[in-house]
Structure 1
């Protein structure tokens, strides 16, 4: 399929059926300008902010009148749209270079693991924020160029280069970052390069959820499929991680009790973090 200049334009009502992937190539260094919506399940929507992208744009039919736009470009060009989207471009050069190395490592490891079929990486917090040429800045371009090809390894393998915008004053060990709780802690993999440390420069702001009455708390549980009775009488903290974050709790209802993970507790009550003190209740 191709787009061809036509002085008279296309006749009204003309339709083109896309049966395979459509590839759009840029005409010059300005790249491709589109209103690509950078969210999971990306699509085209009127009114979305226009952005510019390098490389090529593939439009993949997904059925039910939807398409998946995929930006395909070299890894170093991709990083020039990631670093300024993940870190302010006015930050120090060494910080920007560290971000470039972390982002490159994360992306290459994800690509080697196989991606997600039609694409390798999401352009948002599911993987890494990506703004294309629109986000590109000289300082971050320089940081990417200065670290070209540099990655982080452990034992000869690319590390899982996870990073975050905020850690609330203390990061967490990898085994406690992605846990399951089933009659006790089921930790994730313990990675020697992902250890929790104190971060005095990132103190989380104070917050509070509640107070909730025992009946209201029980209703929240019941609405999420956890019927422990008409009252939640208490929450017992069973285990915390090195950062102090809650790993597991016991929910004591008026007719039953249940043990759940800290992350699930956070989901139930819409908590900003599991670095929390639970007050009230017998």
Structure 2
């Protein structure tokens, strides 16, 4: 047990599987061992600041050593306090009140689904776009906190369980069956849509094209990005370890929502049928999978 003074920093480092906590003021080691360390504020309402992120967090923070000797830092916080730090990271706080309330319910539902499917993990959600952008107490604002408080504990359920409440900043005017993208399955040498869920269906949304806020129209509707055949070849080598030779052609197998389930890339030496979401978003770094290909 070590009681730090107000604003007194602790520095955490590792040596193999050993966790080391050092009083940054005196340089004295206050803990050395392989157990996790829990940081608890002296007053429950005081946030704990993480200097590396330049952010402060409500609740407790646990520090441990993960595989590879890296630090794992987990913030343990109530659902609604988590939402007060996540909602401002997912939606501008100047948006309409009902939009903020709807986003609070959706984001809380997503976190509940992640928690329900966490298995043996010691954490539920990441704090970035891999899950939801969470900045703790430092992100909080009056309008977003009011939206969280006014929807406290509300989530969306299907068959008594939290739904997989996936959302995006823009979807191009049509939603998608997640089974065709994130959860697409191998079908021989190609890919096919998995079953997905009834509540995540393909739905037209003409309102998106009309969306605007105080800063103007929605900025993500139209964009273009170009790649040479050589660049595509190099990216496939880097991400998949396959050399297709000189690029010849690329073909999309589209989902009902118009997004590629898979991308067949042909070259002079080999052809590969790649999962559409991974190839377009990760390998090529595109902003969306709702794309059209224009050869040149």
CA distance in 1, matches of 2:205, 2:92: 19
Q: Which residue of 1 aligns with 2:3?
A: 3
Q: Which residue of 2 aligns with 1:191?
A: 197
| SS in structure 1 at match of 2:223 | coil
Q: Structure 1 259/154 Cα, relative in aligned 2: closer, same or farther at 3 Å?
A: same
Q: How many pairs were matched up?
A: 262
Q: Which residue of 1 aligns with 2:112?
A: 108
Shift, 1:57, TM fit? 1.7
Q: Structure 1 180/148 Cα, relative in aligned 2: closer, same or farther at 3 Å?
A: same
CA distance in 1, matches of 2:284, 2:65: 38
Q: Which residue of 2 aligns with 1:244?
A: 258
Tell me, yes or no, if the aligned pair for 1:30 and 1:52 is still in contact at 8 Å: no
Tell me, yes or no, if the aligned pair for 1:18 and 1:61 is still in contact at 8 Å: no
Pick from 272, 289, 293 the counterpart of residue 258 of structure 1.
Answer: 272
Q: Which residue of 1 aligns with 2:224?
A: 207
Deviation sequence 1:211-254 (CA, Å, 0-9, x none): x24x554444444422233x2222233x2123321222332222
Shift, 1:194, TM fit? 0.8
Shift, 1:134, TM fit? 1.0
| SS in structure 2 at match of 1:17 | strand
Q: Which residue of 2 aligns with 1:27?
A: 42
Q: Structure 1 145/207 Cα, relative in aligned 2: closer, same or farther at 3 Å?
A: same
Q: Structure 1 11/82 Cα, relative in aligned 2: closer, same or farther at 3 Å?
A: closer
Deviation sequence 1:135-180 (CA, Å, 0-9, x none): 1111111111111121111122221111112213322112212224
Is the strand fraction higher in 1 or 2?
Answer: 2
What's the TM-score, normalizing by structure 1? 0.81
Q: Structure 1 14/236 Cα, relative in aligned 2: closer, same or farther at 3 Å?
A: closer
Q: Which residue of 2 aligns with 1:16?
A: 30
Q: Structure 1 177/217 Cα, relative in aligned 2: closer, same or farther at 3 Å?
A: closer
Q: Structure 1 31/4 Cα, relative in aligned 2: closer, same or farther at 3 Å?
A: closer
Alignment of 1:73-222 (within 5 A): 73-114=77-118, 117-178=121-182, 179-182=184-187, 183-200=189-206, 201-202=208-209, 204-210=221-227, 212-213=228-229, 215=230, 217-222=232-237
Shift, 1:207, TM fit? 0.8
Structure 2's unaligned 5+ residue stretches are: 6-22, 210-219
Tell me, yes or no, if the aligned pair for 2:105 and 2:151 is still in contact at 8 Å: yes
Q: Which residue of 2 aligns with 1:38?
A: none
CA distance in 2, matches of 1:119, 1:92: 32
Q: Structure 1 53/226 Cα, relative in aligned 2: closer, same or farther at 3 Å?
A: same
| SS in structure 1 at match of 2:266 | strand
CA distance in 1, matches of 2:25, 2:95: 52
Alignment of 1:46-61 (within 5 A): 48-49=53-54, 51-61=55-65
Shift, 1:98, TM fit? 0.9
Tell me, yes or no, if the aligned pair for 2:193 and 2:261 is still in contact at 8 Å: no
Shift, 1:21, TM fit? 2.2
Q: Structure 1 54/216 Cα, relative in aligned 2: closer, same or farther at 3 Å?
A: closer
